[in-house]
A and B are shown apart, each in its own frame.
Chain A
């Protein structure tokens, strides 16, 4: 049964464009999902192994057929190994992004990437001291070079611990070390996952999962955290600012250039180049009234957080943006970019420009980006978009009206600032019961869930019950589109939370950045736990990923739980083929790291589970 546009998304702008796609006979992710149905059960359960060439092997989930792979691997072993590989891939994606950011930082410090500057000097020096780099008598560039080198060492380190794990509360650190899951080096853990899952190495589900936890921690408290830190130095630490979201931010009169993907390194330059007078002049010549740079996914979140650049949508809106017919250039870097964009942009005048040396897609114009001439490349890209403006086919253009105000830019620094410099007011609000707890809601979109339905309903339920929500990634964009990221949304919050938001002039849902920036949530949780003298697992806090789909999300889930935060997943991970792994994730982990996973597709029930957990933690802390 074909789903209608209304059943595919809760967002009116997306519904309009889904309808347009249908009328024009354009295929979207939803159509391709329907063509995949029913999806392979072996894959859904995680009981298919392709790790060697005696396979592929698969286990009969109903116990009538094969119970073991050729090598003797059981469902438990196969599921655990597959999960470990997902974690490794997710951690690799974040950490490789981080490495590139550090390399840019290093080139800048050495004077080889002239387009970049140190935007947050205070953060540079505070990080330098955290990394044990003395600053006296050195120029800030010298300090920066040393810091860049020290950060690079974190990747290749063999005997850890990964330095930023020190930001975790002492009790948590000791727990990790006792369990033997303190990450030793970022790359080392990822490589070890691949080694352990080779045929005939690690064949004990629990033992395999422990390496999964360690790899997750090396992502959250390593790769991701470094990415956030170094991007703050280079591009500035975000501060609250207003902007607009949703497909309606595309402009009828201006050249529309979309930056999509995950790395702010190039997009920062594009934002700058779009203000270049010469290019603005060219835009006028071509009949446009200006240049409109907007974001999608986390590249969008990065530019939103630092420049207030509007966002056109989240993961499932990338195709819809092109379908407006009003996009001159779709500029992409890495991660979560649908290869379908190639064929799709071909149906319109849109130029599909890929910029990362490590990512390519069918149908792209490659304009590879290198730090040495970042600004020049950015200018070329903007120029290509501007020159494409006259090719826009006015008859095919339809931009939805919907756009929504939002407030973003809540880095930890900004949150503490808003609180007057320390987490104390928030802790008092929690202790007093005005704020019941903190909910961290993050993650992707997934066609298996009505677009934004899980995100928006879960978050609304939480704030209604006085849970302050912190968000990143596609959830943040979903919340923004639903109007939850404005101070006025406080009216949707329970009495206690509403009072706090009104007093501080903040929204009940705080946009903390991109997916890599979930590291900011860890730092915030640590700051609160440290101030209260407890472990993160004692906090009245819970996490959720209502519409997750990527391997990065698996790694994130793992480090959030390893850090002590109970997490509810909205889509079912491919582990149910093993009772042992399922039991470990949903129960066993609790006695190991003080938190576990739960799966609940219904956002209302998921919110209830998070609230119950928060209540339990409040009770344990002696709070009413």
Chain B
């Protein structure tokens, strides 16, 4: 499958990916119109600042092959599509237990990094890595269903995000 590959060393911290993600998940799909929408469109990618590294790092769902979040989800709100290989979330079944967020590998590798670097970034309090607790917005990256190129990838001016085939994950 194709996935968003992150190259944190190229990230400039401009947050363009976040805005583009929110716009891509708005009703109008237009920056200027999206501003006035209710509820406000929400992003599914987070640019975290890692103080000890003095660097920024975009974090988003990796749609893991073994998707631990899917296996721990008690209500099967999370599922992995065997055809598209993307992990998706059904808010109707979700009971907000956030078990998934504690096992997210993407998050735990970041968590490891954070432990090594000795810091905790502010948005981690409400957002466990890639799984947003803003349930109304859809919990996480859907790889921009329906778009040829994910919005975040298209928006990144330095190609810190690339969309490519993932082999041997």
A interface, CB within 8 angstroms of B: 38, 40-42, 44-45, 58, 60-65, 572, 576-577
**B15 and A62 contact, CB distance less than 8 A:** no
A41: B residues at CB distance < 8 A: 16, 19-20, 23, 31, 155
A to B CB contacts below 8 Å, 19 in the list = A38-B155, A40-B16, A40-B157, A41-B16, A41-B155, A42-B14, A42-B15, A44-B31, A60-B18, A60-B19, A62-B22, A62-B34, A62-B35, A62-B40, A62-B42, A64-B40, A65-B18, A576-B32, A576-B35
Does B142 have its Cβ within 8 Å of any Cβ on chain A? no
A42: B residues at CB distance < 8 A: 14-16, 19
CB-CB contacts of B9-44 with A at 8 A, as 1s and 0s? 000001110111011000000011011000011110
B18: A residues at CB distance < 8 A: 60, 65
B34: A residues at CB distance < 8 A: 62
B contact face: mostly helix, strand, loop, or mixed: helix
- Nearest chain A residue, comparing its CB with the CB of B26: A62
- Nearest chain A residue, comparing its CB with the CB of B127: A64
Which 8 pairs across A and B sit closest by C-beta, in order of nearness? A41-B19, A62-B40, A62-B22, A38-B155, A576-B32, A41-B31, A63-B40, A61-B35
B154: A residues at CB distance < 8 A: 38
Partner of B15, one of A45, A60, A576, A577: A60
B1 to chain A, nearest CB (A): 24
A63: B residues at CB distance < 8 A: 40
Please, how many angstroms separate the alpha-carbon atoms of A100 and B155 in the complex?
Answer: 43
Please, how many angstroms separate the alpha-carbon atoms of A542 and B15 in the complex?
Answer: 39
Please, how many angstroms separate the alpha-carbon atoms of A60 and B17 in the complex?
Answer: 12
B40: A residues at CB distance < 8 A: 62-64
CB-CB contacts of B146-169 with A at 8 A, as 1s and 0s? 000000001101000000000000
A45: B residues at CB distance < 8 A: 31, 35
- Nearest chain B residue, comparing its CB with the CB of A582: B35
**A58 and B32 contact, CB distance less than 8 A:** no
A60: B residues at CB distance < 8 A: 15, 18-19
Please, how many angstroms separate the alpha-carbon atoms of A246 and B42 in the complex?
Answer: 48
**B15 and A64 contact, CB distance less than 8 A:** no
- Nearest chain A residue, comparing its CB with the CB of B20: A38
- Nearest chain A residue, comparing its CB with the CB of B23: A41
CB contact under 8 A between A572 and B20, given known A62-B40, A63-B40: no
A65: B residues at CB distance < 8 A: 15, 18
8 further A-B pairs in the complex, CB-CB below 8 A; given A44-B32, A45-B31, A45-B35: A38-B154, A62-B19, A62-B22, A62-B35, A62-B40, A64-B43, A65-B15, A577-B35
- Nearest chain B residue, comparing its CB with the CB of A37: B154
Please, how many angstroms separate the alpha-carbon atoms of A40 and B12 in the complex?
Answer: 13
Please, how many angstroms separate the alpha-carbon atoms of A62 and B40 in the complex?
Answer: 6
Please, how many angstroms separate the alpha-carbon atoms of A384 and B158 in the complex?
Answer: 43
Please, how many angstroms separate the alpha-carbon atoms of A40 and B35 in the complex?
Answer: 15
Please, how many angstroms separate the alpha-carbon atoms of A65 and B127 in the complex?
Answer: 12
Please, how many angstroms separate the alpha-carbon atoms of A572 and B33 in the complex?
Answer: 12
A38: B residues at CB distance < 8 A: 16, 20, 154-155
A576: B residues at CB distance < 8 A: 32, 35
- Nearest chain A residue, comparing its CB with the CB of B126: A64
B46 to chain A, nearest CB (A): 9
A47 to chain B, nearest CB (A): 10
**B42 and A572 contact, CB distance less than 8 A:** no
B31: A residues at CB distance < 8 A: 41, 44-45, 61
A572: B residues at CB distance < 8 A: 32
A44: B residues at CB distance < 8 A: 31-32
**A62 and B41 contact, CB distance less than 8 A:** yes
Please, how many angstroms separate the alpha-carbon atoms of A41 and B40 in the complex?
Answer: 16
B139 to chain A, nearest CB (A): 14
- Nearest chain A residue, comparing its CB with the CB of B154: A38
A577: B residues at CB distance < 8 A: 35
B25 to chain A, nearest CB (A): 10
Please, how many angstroms separate the alpha-carbon atoms of A577 and B14 in the complex?
Answer: 16
Please, how many angstroms separate the alpha-carbon atoms of A179 and B40 in the complex?
Answer: 37
Please, how many angstroms separate the alpha-carbon atoms of A45 and B35 in the complex?
Answer: 10
A62: B residues at CB distance < 8 A: 19, 22, 34-35, 40-43
B2 to chain A, nearest CB (A): 19
Please, how many angstroms separate the alpha-carbon atoms of A61 and B15 in the complex?
Answer: 11
